[in-house]
Amino acid sequence: MFDRHQGGERVVLAALDLGDPDFAESMAELRLLARGAGLDIRGEVQGRRSRPDAALFVGSGKADEIAALVAATDAEVVIFNHELSPAQERNLERRLHCRVIDRVSLILDIFARRARSAEGKLQVELAQLQHLSTRLVRGWTHLERQRGGVGMRGPGEKQLETDRRLIGIRVKALRERLAKLGKQRRTQRRSRSRHRVLSVALVGYTNAGKSTLFNALTRAGTYAADQLFATLDTTTRKIFLPRLADADEPGSGEVVLSDTVGFITRLPHDLVAAFRATLEATAEADLLLHVIDASSPVRERQIEAVDQVLREIGADAVPQLRVYNKLDLTAAAPGVGRDEYDRLQSVYVSAQTGAGLELLRDALSETLLAARETGASETPSSPSTVHSA
């Protein structure tokens, strides 16, 4: 039901600089997203405007420039680095004589390709259907035809109304199945809570190295790659921290560590909503390990993007320890950062080489031990950068 890209499709990328400070970084992300989807980038068109054009987003002259590049490169799809309205997509397709999608559709497509678990696939399908429901008019040229007959709601129902009704039925079924899976997950978490098993969730900007760090700490062998959204399905493993062990409590040194989906600027709202059930584990964790790419020149903006999503899912109050990763790409050395009260704020590691991982394990033990001993979250909930990576 949802338009899926085939590997190797020829595409042209288009974007407007509307005065955003992260325009260059956003374009770099779009290129990575397109390559990650297996698309063949034939060219780019960029422009600058104070505000988008209501009809074409880019304006008439820039649309003609894109059309010329599409014709010259034999491109099949134009991908805009923005969220387009259904009317803008429709107008652009008529003007450019090819398919047009926006950043949201591209991200949804990548999620559809990468989801592996049954729940992950359900969540992606839900997000796709919610996005598609606003764009049904794009695909139909027979909207005024009347359709009746066996199996239909009744004579006189329009095709568009039928499709919206069928999508609504499917969305309801998906939500019910996801709610059931969420209930099962909450039961499992309550069971761990009764056994006093502490939980830690890895969060961070996409491609910050969460899965590589997860594998280094757990030896889980989960999929990790240098691409955006390499991980979609939450993976959970137990690790043992000796300093947390209590001789009178069997298994008290065990900690449940979860690897979660990465975040990105302008993450589609439908996607956040669809993955809310999975991300509940983040909101209910005892500690968040916020993994940060120490080599990124825009890491502060990436940190804010992650914190924004955490606020959206109600996880902003969970204690957070920042882990500056990829030190092998910088001149920085492994270490820890503390605030003026000697509380841990950050750890500097390289998951790729293993440098600083013992410091991270010690930091985890110290932070979780303090929380367990006090019976409350004494750890910093709004960490600050103690020293520059």
Residues comprising the binding site for GTP? 204-211, 229-233, 259-262, 325-328, 350-352
Q: Residue 249 gets which letter from DSSP?
A: B
The SS3 assignment for 102 reads strand
> Which residues sit in the known binding site for Mg(2+)?
211, 231
Do 254 and 243 contact (CB within 8 A), yes or no?
no
Nearest CA to 202 out of 235, 227, 225 is that of 235
CA dihedral sign, ordered 100, 102, 104, 109: positive
CA dihedral sign, ordered 234, 236, 241, 246: positive
Q: How many CB atoms lie within 10 A of CB 199?
A: 19
Pairing relationship of beta strands 157-158 and 146-147 according to DSSP bridges:
antiparallel
Q: How far apart are CA 130 and CA 152, in angstroms?
A: 23
> Which residues sit in the known binding site?
204-211, 229-233, 259-262, 325-328, 350-352
Q: How far apart are CA 224 and CA 277, in angstroms?
A: 23
Integer angstrom CA distances of residue 272 from 106, 283, 285, 311, 346: 15, 13, 18, 11, 27
Q: How far apart are CA 238 and CA 217, in angstroms?
A: 10
Do 365 and 243 contact (CB within 8 A), yes or no?
yes
Alpha helices by DSSP H, listed for the chain, are 23-36, 60-73, 86-96, 103-114, 118-132, 159-194, 210-218, 269-274, 276-283, 299-312, 357-374
Do 69 and 45 contact (CB within 8 A), yes or no?
yes
Q: Residue 342 gets which letter from DSSP?
A: S
CA 162 to chain centre: 32
Q: How many CB atoms lie within 10 A of CB 158?
A: 15
